[in-house]
């Protein structure tokens, strides 16, 4: 495990104070969870990015809060949609001996038979929720699609027994399906019904999280 990320307490939550922190390279953050009261902190963005490159998105991170080292995971974060900067981070303090629930990315492995025949790979859900000890959290959940034919689907129920992790999603939670290739008539209909090229995109505002 890498060196602990140093944090500093932040007392103010005003927009100007948050902007000043970000200007200085800090991420306004909060840590809470196991034996830890909810504490507003700030950490250097470069420290977090460096640590995530080492541990992965779901890895256990050591976080120094007032001289006490906590084992935490990055529970949630907000990212600037335009420039990619992390604007806020939530850290969950954990007990390393107890299992926790965590979402992991579904990684499709192999090329399916259906895709080779011209079928279209569709992935309705990109994450699964598993229950696992912190030291065993995987970076991704691999699903082998090599045997999948056109019209076939893989759900959680199909992989539950083979998984070494406890999956908390329902059996009918769909992970991947291979649909038939579109006909020329369907493609022509899509072209006819497609959105106008000069349509204005909808802009969703992003509010700072305290």
This prediction's pTM: 0.73
Q: Which CATH superfamily hosts domain 5-93?
A: Ribosomal Protein L25; Chain P (2.40.240.10)
100-192 is classed CATH 2.170.120.20: yes
Asked if 130 and 101 count as a contact pair (C-beta separation under 8 A), the reply is yes
How far is residue 157 from each of residues 76, 77, 99, 125, measured CA to CA in Å? Answer: 28, 30, 22, 14
What are the tens digits of pLDDT across the range 86-96?
A: 999 999 999 99
Q: Hey, where are the domains in the chain? A: 5-93, 100-192
3-state SS of 69-111 is EEEEEEEEEEECCCCCCEEEEEEEECCCCCCEEEEEEEEEECC
Paired residues of 27 in beta bridges: 43
In the sheet that holds 153-155, the strands lie side by side as 120-122, 174-179, 153-155
What are the tens digits of pLDDT across the range 22-74?
A: 999 999 999 999 999 999 999 999 999 999 998 888 899 999 998 999 999 99
Nearest-CA neighbor of 91 among 139, 59, 131?
59
């Amino acid at each position: 495990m890498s060196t602990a990320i140093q944090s500093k307490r932040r007392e103010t939550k005003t927009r100007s104070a948050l902007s000043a922190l970000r200007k200085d390279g800090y991420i306004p953050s909060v840590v809470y969870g196991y034996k830890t009261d909810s504490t507003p902190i700030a950490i250097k963005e470069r420290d977090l990015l460096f640590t995530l490159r080492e541990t992965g998105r779901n890895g256990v991170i050591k976080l120094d809060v007032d001289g006490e080292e906590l084992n935490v995971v990055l529970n949630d974060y907000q990212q600037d949609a335009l420039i990619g900067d992390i604007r806020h981070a939530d850290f969950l303090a954990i007990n390393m001996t107890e299992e926790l629930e965590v979402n992991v990315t579904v990684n499709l492995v192999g090329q399916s038979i259906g895709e080779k025949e011209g079928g279209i790979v569709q992935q309705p859900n990109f994450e699964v929720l598993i229950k696992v000890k912190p030291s065993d959290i995987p970076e991704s959940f691999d699903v082998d699609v090599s045997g999948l034919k056109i019209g076939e689907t893989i759900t959680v129920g199909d992989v539950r027994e083979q998984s070494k992790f406890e999956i908390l999603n329902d059996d009918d939670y769909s992970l991947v399906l291979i649909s038939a290739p579109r006909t020329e008539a369907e493609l022509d209909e899509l072209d006819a019904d497609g959105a106008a090229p000069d349509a204005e995109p909808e802009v969703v505002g992003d509010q700072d999280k305290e």
